[in-house]
Structure 1
């Protein structure tokens, strides 16, 4: 399979035609080899229009959703970004090519180790990864210019809002256990926050102290 051709088709059909306009986001997803972030047996499906299982009851997000959430962060290349829910590491790789530094948290150790290996194989040395409860953020490294949450939460955790820098953007899926909507929160210069809602989405649950419990 010609993965470069598959990536180009993915970008054109799934991103550009659906309204993704940020050229930096488009460029990142055109260059990052998504297939190395899935099991080898599923590499031929890596550029398909949908999420894929990555083990541990987790998924790698649909390419369009990765692009949309990244675009909502409005990254310029100078930011310090926090990602909660490393998963496969693909979203962290996208962020790493668009920001100065990335801090990513994964609660499931086997996934974190696989993600670290994939990120290292691409030479993305500006990604810091820790195994912990992502719903608590990474307070000792705050504030962050942007925070991206890749799992669905029942509400926007206040502790994450508190870790935003002035002018910082937080993008998070919020809703029930199966269906959510993307929410973007921006911290104003006076410390107040404003939020707006984007499209419907469906993510795995955000498990942890400030998210869902592990019970079904």
Structure 2
């Protein structure tokens, strides 16, 4: 069951190109593109993506495309958000999830609607402050956020049942792998621009790793430090 707030603010309903009808058309496209998990589709049908982008771009919110959010960052394509979320919950819904790269907050909000608690780390302060305002507006109280270098994860709260990374590093970060609980799952893009792959890495009960390449993708780079 979605944890999305029962009484969203009036602007969440949208009008015209941001209306429920526009969301329903997006869901139809996602189904045609292969998204099958009804839990994920239900959240994306309900969640007001237009509140996670600049008002000037709101009419494009329910196109299946990435859009700029400032600071050289983007809100991910809905298909990519849906697919990464599917991969994360396919073998069971995790209780505690770490997200690296809060960005607009949209992917985090999707996770928040499905799992018990989300911990999200963002290196760009302005983006994090904007995302926090959106979480408050939508009543998403099961999100904890931190302004820090995402490559370090959130060691004080580890281990996590699942980790989702929304920017591409050259390889998987050992610090993040170390924070994954036994039988946990990590979903992340890896590789240089033009040659990135979406990976799912599962850790079995004995601590051994299983690495699966899912698809070719295109993400902003995973950078260190804070801004």
TM-score, normalization: structure 1?
A: 0.94
Within the candidate set 47, 56, 61, 1:41 is matched to 56
The answer to whether residue 107 in structure 2 is matched with residue 91 in structure 1 is yes
Taking the aligned partners of 1:122 and 1:5, their CA distance within structure 2 comes to 20
Alignment-derived partner of residue 117 in structure 2: 101
The answer to whether residue 71 in structure 2 is matched with residue 56 in structure 1 is yes
Alignment of 1:6-85 (within 5 A): 6-13=22-29, 15-74=30-89, 76-77=92-93, 79-85=95-101
Taking the aligned partners of 1:11 and 1:177, their CA distance within structure 2 comes to 28
Alignment of 1:197-216 (within 5 A): 197-208=213-224
Check whether the contact 1:154–1:177 (CA below 8 A) recurs between aligned residues. Answer: no
What secondary structure is seen at the aligned counterpart in 1 of 2:207? coil
Taking the aligned partners of 1:79 and 1:186, their CA distance within structure 2 comes to 16
Gaps in structure 1 of 5+ consecutive residues? none
Deviation at residue 117 of structure 1 after TM alignment:
0.5
Aligned length: 210
Deviation at residue 3 of structure 1 after TM alignment:
1.8
What secondary structure is seen at the aligned counterpart in 2 of 1:98? coil
Gaps in structure 2 of 5+ consecutive residues? 1-15
Alignment-derived partner of residue 151 in structure 2: 135
Taking the aligned partners of 2:219 and 2:94, their CA distance within structure 1 comes to 28
Deviation at residue 77 of structure 1 after TM alignment:
4.6
Taking the aligned partners of 1:74 and 1:93, their CA distance within structure 2 comes to 15
Q: Cα RMSD over matched residues?
A: 1.6
Check whether the contact 1:178–1:204 (CA below 8 A) recurs between aligned residues. Answer: no
Alignment-derived partner of residue 163 in structure 1: 179
The alpha-carbon distance between structure 1 residues 104 and 21, as it changes in their structure 2 partners (threshold 3 A), is same
Deviation at residue 78 of structure 1 after TM alignment:
5.0
